[in-house]
Structure 1
Amino acid sequence: MSATVALATEREEHPVPDQNDTLGDELDVRAEEPARRHQLIFGRYAALQPGEGFVLVNDHDPKPLYYQFAAEHDGEFTWAYLEEGPQTWRVAIGRPAA
Structure 2
Amino acid sequence: MDQYAAMINATEYPPKFKHKVIFDTFSALPPSKAMLLVNDHDPLPLRYQFEAMHPNEFTWEYIEEGPDVFQVKIGKI
Query: Partner of 2:64 in structure 1?
Result: 83
Question: Which deviations, in whole Å up to 9, do the C-alpha atoms of 1:29-83 show, x marking residues without a partner?
Answer: 1121111100000000000111111100011100000000001101000100000
Render the CA deviation track for 1:4-43: whole Å, top value 9, x for unaligned. xxxxxxxxxxxxxxxxxx4223211112111110000000
Counterpart for residue 14 of structure 2: 33
Structure 2 unaligned spans of 5+: none
Contact 2:5/2:29 (8 A) holds in 1 = no
1:78 counterpart letter in structure 2: T
CA RMSD, aligned part only?
1.0
**TM-score under structure 2 length normalisation:** 0.91
- 2:63 maps to 1:71: no
Which stretches of structure 1, 4 residues or more, deviate above 3 A after TM superposition?
none
Matches of 1:32 and 1:82 in 2, distance apart? 21
Equivalent pairs: percent with the same residue? 44
Question: Contact 2:37–2:71 at 8 Å: present in 1 too?
Answer: yes
User: Which segments of 5 or more consecutive residues in structure 1 lack a partner in the other structure?
Assistant: 1-21
